[in-house]
Chains A and B, each alone.
Chain A
Amino acid sequence: MSAFITLALPLSDQECLLAALAELGFGANRVEVHDSPVHLTGYQGDQRVQRGHIVIRRQHVGEAANDIGFERSPTGFRAHVSDWDQAHGYGPEWIRRLQASYCKQDKLKQARLAREREDADVETRRAAAVQVRRQAEDQQRLVAAQRRAVYEKARKMGYRVQEERHQGDTLRLVLVKRSY
C-alpha cells in the first residue's frame, strides 16, 4: 500500500501551547515563559545542553525528574523531554495528548477570533482583525519554514524536489531519487 501519513499540527502558537499545557495540569504557576531560551536543568541540578522558551521545572514534573522544555523554532516549538521522563509518563502518549489538546485550543482560538471580528464594539473588532492578520503572516512563515525543512531533508537523502502549488493553498513537493 502507498502511505498516507498526516503529521501532527506544528506547535507554532505560544498561546495555544500554554493553554494545552494548562489542560494537561501545567497551568501558569507551573510553567516559565522566556523571550530568550534558557537551559534546562537535570534531576541533580546540573545544567543540560537543551534549552527552552517554555519550561516546566523538574519539581513540577515528578520525583527524580528533569526539566521539560519547549524550544521555539521556525517549524514550531520543539519538545525536549529526557529519556528518563519519557519512560515515566511523558513519552509519546503524553506528547499525543498534548498535540490533541493543542489542536482543540487552536480551534477554540479561531472560533473566538471569528466571534470577536463580528463584535459590536469597534475596538474589539479591530484588535481581532490585527490578530488574525498576524496569525496569517505567522502561518505563511511556518509554511515557508516547513518547505525549507523538507528541501533540506530531501537534499541530505539525495532526492530531487519538484514543486507545485495545488488545491488552493496546498504546496506539493514531489521527492524523486534514481534508485536502479
Chain B
Amino acid sequence: MGLLNVAQMIPHSAVNGPGERFVLWVQGCSLHCPGCWNPATWSSRPNQMIAPLDLAEVIVSTPRIEGLTLTGGEPFEQAAELAPLAARVRGHGRSVMVFTGYELGELVTDAHQALMVSCDILVTGRYRRAERSLGLAWRGSANQRIHFLTDRYGPASMPATSECEVHIAADGRLTLTGFPPPALTENH
C-alpha cells in the first residue's frame, strides 16, 4: 500500500457533512475546475506523505467525531490509498463522506469501487462557477449531486442551512472551511 498525499486536516469540523467530523483534504487533482476554492491542492507534488492505516488510527482515536470527510484535491485520484483507510474508519463505527469532482459514471475502476464500498455519502460533479450557489447544503454549485450509498443517512440528514466555519488561531490567523461567502475570505 502506497503513502497518501495529504494537503490539510482538521480534526473537528461541523460544516463538512453530518455531525462533528474529521476532515481530510488530499493533495492532487487533475480536474482543475475554474473558480475552485482550493487551487493549492491541485499539484500532485508530495506534500504530507502519510501511511493510510497510521492516519486511520489517528482518526478513530479522535474523540467526539461522528465520521470522516474526504475532500481535496481529488479523493478518487488516490482511491487505492484511501479505500483501506475508509474501511478501517467504518470498521470503528464511524461514517465516511466523500466530495469528488467526478460524476458517478466516471468512477469505474476497481480502486474507485473499493473506496465507494466504504462510503456513506458521496457528493459528485465538477464545480461549475456559473452554477455557484451558497444556499445548497454540502455543494458549491447546483449541478453537483448528493448520493446516499447506505441507510445510515438520508435527505433528512442534510442541514436546512448554508454553513461555513472560521477557525481563529492563537496568533490571529483565520482559516475558513465549508462554503464561505466571498466577504469572509478577505482579511478586513
Contact = CB atoms under 8 A, between A and B. Distances in A.
Interface residues of B, number: 55
Interface of B: 7-8, 10-12, 14-16, 23, 25, 36-38, 41, 69, 71-73, 99, 101, 127, 134-138, 140, 159-181, 183-185, 187-188
B175 A147 contact: no
A146 B176 CA distance: 13
A153 interface: yes
Contact of A171 (B73, B164, B167, B187): B167
Interface stretch (A35-43, A71-79, A121-129): A71-79
Interface string A158-170: 0000100011111
Q: A interface, by DSSP: helix, strand, loop or mixed?
A: mixed
Interface in A1-31: 1-10, 12
A167 B38 contact: no
Interface of A: 1-10, 12, 73, 75-76, 78, 139, 142-143, 145-147, 149-150, 153, 156-157, 162, 166-180
B119 to A, nearest CB: 16
Contacts of B184: 150, 153, 175
B7 A171 contact: no
Contact of A169 (B14, B36, B170): B170
Given A4-B38, A179-B136, 6 more contacts: A1-B25, A1-B99, A6-B174, A10-B187, A150-B166, A169-B170
A176 B172 contact: no
Given A150-B184, A179-B162, A2 B16 contact: yes
Nearest to B170: A169
B8 A4 contact: yes
A43 to B, nearest CB: 25
Given A1-B37, A2-B69, A4-B7, A176 B163 contact: yes
Given A1-B72, A168-B170, A169-B169, A7 B175 contact: yes
A20 B65 CA distance: 41
A170 B187 contact: no
Given A157-B183, A169-B170, A3 B164 contact: yes
Contacts of B101: 1
A172 B167 contact: yes
Contacts of B178: 2-3
Contacts, number: 150
Q: Closest 5 interchain pairs by CB?
A: A169-B170, A179-B135, A3-B37, A142-B172, A179-B162
A27 to B, nearest CB: 26
A99 B158 CA distance: 39
Given A9-B172, A174-B14, A4 B177 contact: yes
A166 B167 CA distance: 9
A169 B185 CA distance: 22
A78 B180 CA distance: 22
Given A143-B172, A166-B12, A174-B15, A7 B127 contact: no
B103 to A, nearest CB: 15
Nearest to A149: B188
Contacts of A8: 173, 187
